[in-house]
Structures are given as C-alpha cells and as structure tokens.
Amino acid sequence: MLRPFADWLDKTPLSQALQNHLWIIPTSQSIHIVAVSVLFASACVINLRLLGVGRGGRSVSTLSATLVPWMWRALAVLLCTGAIQIIAEPVRQFVTPAFWAKMTMIVIVATMTYLYARSLRRNAPLWDTPATRPASAKFFAVISTLLWLGIIACGRFIGYTWSFYA
C-alpha cells in the first residue's frame, strides 16, 4: 500500500520539480542537519544536567526554559526539511525500515520532551533540587539521549540501506 503511494508521489509535479533541481536535496539535508544539531545538543545539555554530569551553572528549570523553546523551533525546521526530502524521494523513505524507526523515535522523544517540559514548568523547585527531583528524571535523560542517537543513526542509514528494499 505504501509503495504505490510512494510511486504516485514520486510522479507528482511537485516531487518532479524538487528532483529536477539538483541543489534542493543537499541544501534541505544541510538545513536538516543544522536543525537536528540544535535539538541534539540542547537535549544533551539538559539530560547531562538531569544526570548530574558537568559543572554547576544554570538550574534545570532555567536551562529548560531557555533551551526547550529553541528545540520546538528546531523541530519545526526539522519536520519541514524532512517533508521536502520525503516529497522529493518518497520511494527511498517509505520502503526503508530505518525511516519508520526514525519516525517512531521522533514521535516518542517529542512526546517525552513535551511531558517533561510541562511537568518542569509546574514543579520547577521540585526539579531544581537533586534530592527532590522525580526518580523518573534520570530515566527520561537516558532514554531521550538514546532516542536522539538512534534518530541520527537511522537518518544516516536511510541513505545506506534504502536500495535493499526498493
């Protein structure tokens, strides 16, 4: 069912237009990398703080209040450039397990981050003191970091594995 859809999308004028301009895909991928860099580094800085790694400095709530809004902006850029890449090369994306793994992980990590940020906004003092921080904080930090690593790895591996499935 996905394959016919991918083939149809591939033949649409919009997809053809994107494919016919050789600079579009590398440019979109470059912007995509910049966006994922902002997301990954922000997530790592917050997660390391939750794990108690690194030098003092800002509290968890201050850090998150600064970084989380930039993470949502970067996620919007990530999804827009990702959509361009899907429309330009639909077969390559839809047939590849690495693509679906990446989509699953991005939904999970975005949901987790939203719930984390909401809980933090409501209980900032609780989160800022390591002694009273919910036990789930470290679990969140480890899982979120692993998911971002997985997302980047799957993103890179779409390009190396799609030809096995097409």
Partner 1 sequence: MSLAPLLATIKGWPISAAVRGDLPGTEWLFPIIETLHVIALATVLGTIVMVDLRLLGIASRESAVSQLSREILPWTWTAWCAAAVFGTLMFMSNATAYAGNLQFRLKFVCMGLAALNMLSFHFGPYRRVALWDSGEPPPSAKLAGALSLALWIGVVFFGRWTGFTMT
Interacting residues with partner 1 (CB under 8 A): 25-27, 29-30, 33-34, 36-42, 44-45, 54-55, 57-58, 62, 66-67, 70, 149, 152-153, 155-157, 160
Kindly tell me which of 29 and 123 has the beta carbon lying closer to partner 1: 29
d(CA 77, CA 15): 19
Kindly tell me which of 3 and 145 has the beta carbon lying closer to partner 1: 145
Minimum distance from residue 161 beta carbon to partner 1 (Å):
9
Please report the DSSP string for the chain in residue order: -HHHHHHHHHHSHHHHHHHH-TTHHHHHHHHHHHHHHHHHHHHHHHHHHHHT-S---S-HHHHHHHHHHHHHHHHHHHHHHHHHHHHHSHHHHHT-HHHHHHHHHHHHHHHHHHHHHHHHHHSHHHHHSTTTS-THHHHHHHHHHHHHHHHHHHHHHHHHHHHHH-
Minimum distance from residue 155 beta carbon to partner 1 (Å):
8
Kindly tell me which of 31 and 103 has the beta carbon lying closer to partner 1: 31
Kindly tell me which of 18 and 38 has the beta carbon lying closer to partner 1: 38
Minimum distance from residue 115 beta carbon to partner 1 (Å):
22
End-to-end CA distance of the chain: 14
Handedness of CA 71, 72, 74, 79 (dihedral sign): positive
Minimum distance from residue 138 beta carbon to partner 1 (Å):
19
Kindly tell me which of 45 and 134 has the beta carbon lying closer to partner 1: 45
Minimum distance from residue 41 beta carbon to partner 1 (Å):
2
